[in-house]
Structure 1
Amino acid sequence: MQNLSPKNLLPLGPDTSGQSSQRPRLIAALALAAACGIVATSLNPVPVAASTTLVADAMNRTVGSGWGSTSSGIPYLANSPSRFAVDGSQGEITLVPGKLSHATAAINAADMQAGVDISFDSLPSTGSSYAHLGARSTADGQYTASLRLQSTGNLSLEISRTVSGKKIVLDSRQISAAARPGTAYHVDFAITGSGTASLKARAFAAGSGTPEWQLESEDASTALASAKGSLRIGGYLSASATGNSGLHVDNLVARSATEPAMQDPEPAPAPSPSPIPEPAPDAEGTVPHSEEVSLGEQAPQAGTLGAIPSTALYVSASGNDASGGTASAPLRTLSKAISKASSGQTIVVRGGSYHESVVIPAGKSLKLREYPGETVWLDGSKAITGFSAASNGWVKSGWDYDFDTSPTYTRGATDNTAEAWGFINSSYPMAAHPDQVWINGTKQTQVSSVAKLKPGAFHVDRANNKLHLGTDPTGKSVRASTLVKALSIRSGNSSVSGINVRKFAPSVPDMGAVTAEKPGITVQNLTIEDTATTGLNVSAVKNTVSNVKIQRSGMLGMNAVYADGLVVNKLASTGNNHERFNTSPVSGGLKIGRTRGVTVKDSKLNSNYGPGLWLDESVYDSKILNNDLISNTGHGLSLEISAKAVVANNRITKNSGFAFKLNNTSDVKIWNNTISGKNRVLNIVQDARRAANKSDPGHDPRQPFPDTTMTWINKNIVAKNNVFSNTGGGNAILAVEDYSGSYTAEQMKISLASNAYHRVNSTNPKWSSVWSTGAGNPAVFTTLPAFAKSTGQELNSFELTSSTVLSSTNNPTTSVTGKNSQATALPSDIASLIGQAPASKRIGSYPR
């Protein structure tokens, strides 16, 4: 018989031809492949031992309730048929918040490989949507490969084991940081072996090339070791989500398969993450502990860390602190491993959740890292039970966690009273109280008295050691933060990779859940989420933060001070200032102060309550490159009382404050940015503060006074090849003002050229430009030509009037890029910083 090469096999991805005749050809090709002993999924075949097709379902029938039967007569049993249908080309699953939906095909197989195309109909409003492909499904449990789509668009793949209602995630990996509803993803899942099961999974955009297996794990569960069971397809929507959602399923294929057991890359035991309970669903599929099903938010992908040294110590959630710390006899806690380790040693942490505060002490440089492919969490919360009904809500006695509620960086001090210096917003008086409670994964709001309790609120009675809830906790998962700090790195030249952090309760003066306190520290490849105040703080020189995700911090995502030489690369800081501290003096995505030689690049500082990126108080020689600063409630970018900066190839859009505020900062190069918003787009302002005035706060005490590099006077500012788009609001596109009445724009040496000005119409905003005249009122210009003629600025620039000049992805449209010939040739120094060709011509940010 003719050998079937990859090009002879039809893909198992979605049928994009629009012709139903392709589907019989698909099934015929699969049958032929099976006869030849070849298993094919998506674009590339995977040769294994001879196999039998168990299920091949192209979903080319119409069923109004349930999924009916495959063309070979195998029926599907749905737990709730009304949530299932087949529309003639795809299977449909309606996802109802808090309820499992699944259809089972009884194939009675142990070793098998299955593939299916799955698309999500929408992003969940909160929490996550899951799509499940389960195998060896019996009354005792099953193995499952799942796609998990979060409300942020993050899509991850995980392998899990469920036995007797308890689910353990064995392995997980991020597939996309920006998945879109409607996009079909192909999932392959393979299981072989008895005694120890070998599990493999991968997920990729349907129709694209098939990657190598992305997840590989071994599991020795007695209940599932050699079980023959059914194939199960289904989904789940977080109980906290509002409204129903759905999945579309197509091209389901499952075959018997026999493969040799996978070899572990290290002579170490299989990961043993702490079990996370998943109660068995009721008759309607309700899962009370929906938010506790997986190991939590998926961390960014780890970078290349190199081979694990033979001298490494190991930690496992199933280890023992009395053991030797070897791969086969791991320790139980990170703290014990650090105590046992010698300076320079590597500590490898197996997947799972660890409830401890960790300190790397001074004088002991360590490399703390996750085991390859496994997800590690330091979790500052614990499950809370023992509530009883009270006259107003529910109460737990013996609650003796008493966190510091200091609202400023000085422990024990009261809040500042000077204007714009108070931390606490009177509308959110409990912001500085680090107590945190979640019920079924939904964060509760702290109130100041029992009388203010209501559903969704909690109160801590410190005098009587009681925790009060306004929501009935019966049958629900209740978790509360009980630890202050996650990780204090107090030894130089240490590194931390893949040690994720969640639900810790640092107060404001604790500086952060994770603190890098000595020179030469690297923090990378991890997530920090749901911390009470600040996620990450850097307070020493030559530190690196790379591929870190910080979300839902109570006050600030990341802070850095006295951090000369800091490099921030691929930071994703979103949804921070969750507790709604005042925007000033501290809030938002990332704030840096009193630091020299800092680079922030390739990062996303989006959707924060406050500024996206704020450089303040004597920051010298900064480079802000290739970032997205989008949809923050404060300014997108703020440079304040600082000096010497390059701002290039950033997208700064949809922020509620000024898009870019430049305040008392000299020697700034602004090149090829896309800057847009409903307020002043580039707002260059001067006030009365001067670096020569020692009484003005904000000096770097490490520098001599006066600091000759720092004047706090706007001067030598160049802005070229930028898009300045005002989408309706404020009173100007560009503004240069001196509130102290000391300097004209010419004296500030502002240089503008080859920029695109955009406004909604000729009167919105009122002015094209505001231009300082020194002591008197500034000059105003209603059009760009009038501004250029009067000032000699903006040669080769142009003004557009339309609803928008940006695409939905915040890139300049052809109305701008069609005029790229008017751009100033990109200088070699700027080109080198942003990775573009010298002398290239473009207006606005470069594509990425």
Structure 2
Amino acid sequence: MKARTAKKVALRLSTTQKKVTAGSPVTFRITNTSKVKRTVRLQRWDGKKRTWRTVASRKTRTSVRITIKAPKGTWRYRATASKVRQRAGTKVRTFPTTRSAAVSVLGRAAAKSTSPAPAPAPAPAPVAGDRTLGSAPVGSARYAVPANALYVAARGTASGTGTAQNPFGSLAHAVSKAPAGATLVLRGGTYHESFLIGARKTGLTIQNAPGEAVWLDGSERVTNWKSTGGRWAAAGWNHTFDHRIMSGSKDETSRWVNAARPLASHPDQVWLDGRALTQVASEKSVTSGTFFIDKAGKRIVIGDNPAGRKVDASSLQKAMEIHAKDVVIRGIGVRRYASTQKQFAAVVAGVSGISFENVVVSDNAWVGIAAWASGQRYRNVTVSNNGIMGFGGNKSSNLVIENSEFRGNNAQGFKPAPVASGIKITRADRVVLRNNVVADTPFAGGIWFDVSSSNLTIVGNAIHGNAAGLMIELSEGALVADNQIYGNVGTGLRVQASGSVDVWNNTIVDPRPFAAWDDARKQEVASLAATIPWKTDDIELRNNVVSMTGSNTCPILTQDEAQVRHGNDFGIRSNNNVFHRRGVTAPANFACWANGLKQVKSFKDLAQFRAWTGNDKASRLLQGAAVVDGRGTTTSAVRGATASVATPLPTTIAQAIGRTPGTKSLGAFSGRR
């Protein structure tokens, strides 16, 4: 018998939680690259005793997560693994003792409070028709008006003193005159303007007067129509916009725009009696329901008789840009701005602490809201029918979006890559999406996390009617729980080149409910390589109801684009789920698993899948009648399986979704919305 010592194997320790409140949980990830099952230990340095003390240990073949409570102060941690031997026939390989590099975690003292109060119980998830979901209708919000409030009227003039009797004549003028911390109360009307909230206006609040409808509107009324050969034209239209999508000096429009919808990036917009018309490329193509912009002749041409009707066209490109911290925007609507890539969005929230509540952002040509800083809050907002994206966040850490609606975005039908979506967030840490609806996004995905995002909490959402549901890409650390994901054209939940993803108690009813995808991309930022490695690994699926609709041959899929890894290398731990399909061969396969150079290995049923992967030993496959009704409620067949299939909710999962720890249930608790 021959014995040999294996090359020294790296043991990696990482965490994305470098600074936390003392006593709160910290999750570490230990990666064992030897692929040999061995005991790994998480150790903490004891400065007084001058020794490393083991605080937890686990057995793992690939990677494992360990969660502990962070003590007060700065502490160093490392991972270690003892020597182990592996026998293969007549050969014995020895893997020597190894340890990781140390990482430090700061446990900060909790903020002191003179009158501490218990945390309120989580609010129940909104249900269909619940007014707590999305913005209140424009004109219905009623906020208290402070005694020193400044008033604004929609006169379009740089006039007034800001009193109730003599309000400022425009919002831009009011912002220029208001001191930091002021409250601007907008009287009802249409504000056709663009404005900047400068950095010195910290703490400014902009709100509607109680019960009055306020719209920031980028369109203007067009009236000078003349009949011209079965069409109608308005001369003197001097608003021309650059539709190109540039990367430096390079025109990349074709990368973004689908050839089937070549005018998608043109921001021109026209409405007839509030109904959006469709832009066409030539005057001879104009028919009823369409319009053409004659740039050379400075005309708008439409195919419907405008006599006695209202025609509006976009003439401004941005509503507001916020450069002041802690600004509050509430009770208003923003619509019809001809925004392009150059403006980034109709609304740009560029600094920390900004808050939006009961705000509608709709019918803008590019992005509805762009958020570029930390600590922002969006509560009860409605973002709909924007050209390429509803909400875009970049480096927007500590972001919360809750009780909001995102519907019909990517209205112009851009290509799904590089950004089209209902919501797309990149390079952000500690993001919470809670109790939202993200729906009806044509040709693109509903929610998309990308490029080194981490510590994501996606709970209680309804994600439906999109080209794809939820994608977590090039990211690390996500909780996906209590979501209704259904009726999407493609994949319901896709995890790509991402790790440490917990998928608990979701109801997913889609042609391909789940896919874990890996590719050859490597982390671009060296300092993030250990914590966000852009690798598909460490994925847990529990208590989900997964129904396979359609005829996709691989409804559950793991895939490695490089054709190197196998599905069992992805660190997937799946159990306690209920799966459903219409029949024994509908769809033909239960799952397909990455299989190196052979691409994928298919499994016809749960038994084959279980035998090959070792997963889903307590799960159940139901075949035949649907197991979820139109409201997202599971049928008696699923409920009857709960006792034998479901596993109790861990405390961390239960707290995130507002449930009692130890509860046993299958699928989402929240209903469809």
Shorter-normalised TM range: 0.7 to 0.9
* Candidates 442, 446, 454, aligned match of 1:620: 454
Counterpart in 2 of 1:677?
A: 510
- What letter is aligned with 1:503? R
Q: Following the alignment from structure 1 to structure 2, what is the Cα–Cα distance between the partners of residues 752 and 317? A: 58
* Candidates 209, 213, 225, aligned match of 1:371: 209
The offset of 1:602, in angstroms, is: 0.7
Q: Following the alignment from structure 2 to structure 1, what is the Cα–Cα distance between the partners of residues 426 and 322? A: 20
Counterpart in 2 of 1:711?
A: 533
* 8 Å Cα contact 1:406-1:413 kept in structure 2: no
| Residues 393 and 613 (structure 1), Cα distance of their counterparts in 2 relative to 1, 3 Å cut | same
Same amino acid, percent of matched pairs: 33
Question: Residues 526-582 of structure 1: CA distance to partner in whole angstroms, max 9, x if unpaired?
Answer: 101111111111011111111110111111111111111111112200011111111
Counterpart in 2 of 1:556?
A: 389
Counterpart in 2 of 1:771?
A: 593
Question: Does structure 1 residue 746 correspond to structure 2 residue 568?
Answer: yes
- What letter is aligned with 2:666? I
Question: Does structure 1 residue 824 correspond to structure 2 residue 647?
Answer: yes
Question: Does structure 1 residue 654 correspond to structure 2 residue 477?
Answer: no
Q: Following the alignment from structure 2 to structure 1, what is the Cα–Cα distance between the partners of residues 347 and 385? A: 14
The offset of 1:646, in angstroms, is: 0.7
* Candidates 331, 343, 358, aligned match of 1:525: 358
**How do 1:296-315 and structure 2 match up within 5 A?**
298-299=137-138, 302=141, 307-315=144-152
* Candidates 221, 224, 233, aligned match of 1:386: 224
| Residues 841 and 474 (structure 1), Cα distance of their counterparts in 2 relative to 1, 3 Å cut | same
The offset of 1:736, in angstroms, is: 1.6
Q: Following the alignment from structure 1 to structure 2, what is the Cα–Cα distance between the partners of residues 767 and 722? A: 19
> Greater relative contact order: 1 or 2 (C-alpha under 8 angstroms, separation 6 or more)?
2
SS in 2 for 1:655: coil
Counterpart in 2 of 1:689?
A: 521
SS in 1 for 2:382: strand
**How do 1:36-47 and structure 2 match up within 5 A?**
none
SS in 1 for 2:325: coil
Q: Following the alignment from structure 1 to structure 2, what is the Cα–Cα distance between the partners of residues 376 and 813? A: 45
- What letter is aligned with 1:613? I
Q: Following the alignment from structure 1 to structure 2, what is the Cα–Cα distance between the partners of residues 177 and 770? A: 36
- What letter is aligned with 2:522? R
Q: Following the alignment from structure 2 to structure 1, what is the Cα–Cα distance between the partners of residues 188 and 458? A: 35
Counterpart in 1 of 2:82?
A: none
* 8 Å Cα contact 1:733-1:759 kept in structure 2: no
SS in 2 for 1:790: helix
Q: Following the alignment from structure 1 to structure 2, what is the Cα–Cα distance between the partners of residues 704 and 792? A: 35
| Residues 297 and 568 (structure 1), Cα distance of their counterparts in 2 relative to 1, 3 Å cut | closer
Counterpart in 2 of 1:337?
A: 174
Counterpart in 2 of 1:602?
A: 435
Question: Does structure 1 residue 442 correspond to structure 2 residue 275?
Answer: yes
Question: Residues 797-845 of structure 1: CA distance to partner in whole angstroms, max 9, x if unpaired?
Answer: 0001124111111232222122111201101001100101101001100
* Candidates 198, 202, 211, aligned match of 1:361: 198
User: TM-score, length-normalised on structure 2?
Assistant: 0.77
Q: State how many pairs are aligned.
A: 540
- What letter is aligned with 1:576? N
Question: Residues 4-47 of structure 1: CA distance to partner in whole angstroms, max 9, x if unpaired?
Answer: xxxxxxxxxxxxxxxxxxxxxxxxxxxxxxxxxxxxxxxxxxxx
**Which runs of no fewer than 5 residues in structure 1 stay unpaired?**
1-175, 181-203, 205-295, 695-702
Counterpart in 2 of 1:467?
A: 300
Q: Following the alignment from structure 1 to structure 2, what is the Cα–Cα distance between the partners of residues 628 and 813? A: 19
The offset of 1:412, in angstroms, is: 6.5
Q: Following the alignment from structure 1 to structure 2, what is the Cα–Cα distance between the partners of residues 594 and 564? A: 8
Q: Following the alignment from structure 1 to structure 2, what is the Cα–Cα distance between the partners of residues 300 and 724? A: 41
Q: Following the alignment from structure 1 to structure 2, what is the Cα–Cα distance between the partners of residues 715 and 815? A: 32
* Candidates 645, 649, 656, aligned match of 1:833: 656
Q: Following the alignment from structure 1 to structure 2, what is the Cα–Cα distance between the partners of residues 640 and 834? A: 23
Q: Following the alignment from structure 1 to structure 2, what is the Cα–Cα distance between the partners of residues 509 and 779? A: 46
Counterpart in 1 of 2:608?
A: 786
User: TM-score, length-normalised on structure 1?
Assistant: 0.61
- What letter is aligned with 1:779? K
* 8 Å Cα contact 2:335-2:362 kept in structure 1: yes
Q: Following the alignment from structure 2 to structure 1, what is the Cα–Cα distance between the partners of residues 603 and 530? A: 36
- What letter is aligned with 2:520? A
SS in 1 for 2:637: helix
The offset of 1:301, in angstroms, is: 6.6
* Candidates 615, 630, 633, aligned match of 2:464: 630
Question: Does structure 1 residue 485 correspond to structure 2 residue 318?
Answer: yes
The offset of 1:451, in angstroms, is: 2.0
Question: Does structure 1 residue 429 correspond to structure 2 residue 268?
Answer: no
* 8 Å Cα contact 1:761-1:802 kept in structure 2: yes
Counterpart in 2 of 1:721?
A: 543
Q: Following the alignment from structure 1 to structure 2, what is the Cα–Cα distance between the partners of residues 644 and 381? A: 43
Q: Following the alignment from structure 1 to structure 2, what is the Cα–Cα distance between the partners of residues 357 and 811? A: 46
Q: Following the alignment from structure 1 to structure 2, what is the Cα–Cα distance between the partners of residues 745 and 597? A: 29
* 8 Å Cα contact 1:342-1:364 kept in structure 2: yes
The offset of 1:177, in angstroms, is: 8.8
* 8 Å Cα contact 2:460-2:670 kept in structure 1: no
SS in 2 for 1:491: coil
| Residues 704 and 327 (structure 1), Cα distance of their counterparts in 2 relative to 1, 3 Å cut | farther
Counterpart in 2 of 1:221?
A: none
* 8 Å Cα contact 2:138-2:214 kept in structure 1: no
Q: Following the alignment from structure 2 to structure 1, what is the Cα–Cα distance between the partners of residues 273 and 433? A: 36
* 8 Å Cα contact 2:398-2:431 kept in structure 1: yes
The offset of 1:350, in angstroms, is: 1.9
Q: Following the alignment from structure 1 to structure 2, what is the Cα–Cα distance between the partners of residues 537 and 428? A: 24
**How do 1:162-311 and structure 2 match up within 5 A?**
178=128, 298-299=137-138, 302=141, 307-311=144-148
* 8 Å Cα contact 1:727-1:804 kept in structure 2: no
- What letter is aligned with 1:674? T
* 8 Å Cα contact 1:647-1:669 kept in structure 2: yes
* Candidates 539, 547, 555, aligned match of 1:733: 555
* 8 Å Cα contact 2:506-2:544 kept in structure 1: yes
* 8 Å Cα contact 1:411-1:509 kept in structure 2: no
Counterpart in 2 of 1:27?
A: none
The offset of 1:375, in angstroms, is: 2.2
- What letter is aligned with 2:241? F
**Which runs of no fewer than 5 residues in structure 2 stay unpaired?**
1-125
| Residues 603 and 396 (structure 1), Cα distance of their counterparts in 2 relative to 1, 3 Å cut | same
The offset of 1:597, in angstroms, is: 1.5
SS in 1 for 2:176: helix
* 8 Å Cα contact 2:544-2:578 kept in structure 1: yes
SS in 1 for 2:552: coil
Question: Residues 293-338 of structure 1: CA distance to partner in whole angstroms, max 9, x if unpaired?
Answer: xxx9934975x85x43222111133697533212233222111111
- What letter is aligned with 2:165? S
* 8 Å Cα contact 2:156-2:191 kept in structure 1: no
* Structure of higher CA gyration radius: 1
SS in 1 for 2:337: coil
* 8 Å Cα contact 2:139-2:214 kept in structure 1: no
SS in 2 for 1:468: strand
SS in 2 for 1:451: helix
Q: Following the alignment from structure 2 to structure 1, what is the Cα–Cα distance between the partners of residues 571 and 625? A: 33
**How do 1:128-139 and structure 2 match up within 5 A?**
none
* 8 Å Cα contact 2:484-2:670 kept in structure 1: no
Q: Following the alignment from structure 2 to structure 1, what is the Cα–Cα distance between the partners of residues 178 and 248? A: 33
